[in-house]
């Protein structure tokens, strides 16, 4: 017999009604209360806040060669949205806050 928490959707279902952090492929982040999701991980958040990536470019000059590096710093609150629907194929990570 299977353990009650053996499937990923069971773990996600246990997070329903709690505040979660949803990271997207494009670097944006949404934080809100997990209202609903489906088998495609399409997700509905309530009281959602949108955070934009704070990507900065660093330009280094070493031996007259220029190299550019991008790094991601802290995400900054962009706006409060209320209820949002997030398409599952854009999500990279969901974690309980």
- The one-character DSSP state at 13 is H
How big is the chain, counted in residues?
97
Average pLDDT of the chain, as a whole number: 85
56 Cβ contact partners less than 8 Å away, ≥ 6 residues apart? 70, 71, 73
pLDDT confidence of residue 1: 45
pTM more than 0.85: no
Residues 97 and 54: beta-carbon distance below 8 Å? no
Which architecture does CATH list for 8-96?
Roll (2.30)
d(CA 95, CA 8): 12
Summarize the confidence of residues 7-25 as an average pLDDT: 93
- Specify the DSSP class assigned to residue 90: G
What's residue 77's pLDDT? Answer: 80
- pLDDT tens-digit map of 35-81: 999 999 999 999 999 998 876 655 666 667 666 555 556 678 889 99
Structure tokens at 37: 């999701």
């Amino acid at each position: 017999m299977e353990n009650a928490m053996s499937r990923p959707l069971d773990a996600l279902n246990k997070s329903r009604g709690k505040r979660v952090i949803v990271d997207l492929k494009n670097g944006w982040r949404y934080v809100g209360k997990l209202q609903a999701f489906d088998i495609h991980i399409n997700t509905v958040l309530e009281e959602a806040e949108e955070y934009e990536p704070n990507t900065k470019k660093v330009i280094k000059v070493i031996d007259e060669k220029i190299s550019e590096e991008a790094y991601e710093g802290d995400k900054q609150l962009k706006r409060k949205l209320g209820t949002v629907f997030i398409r599952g194929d854009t999500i990279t990570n969901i974690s309980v806050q």
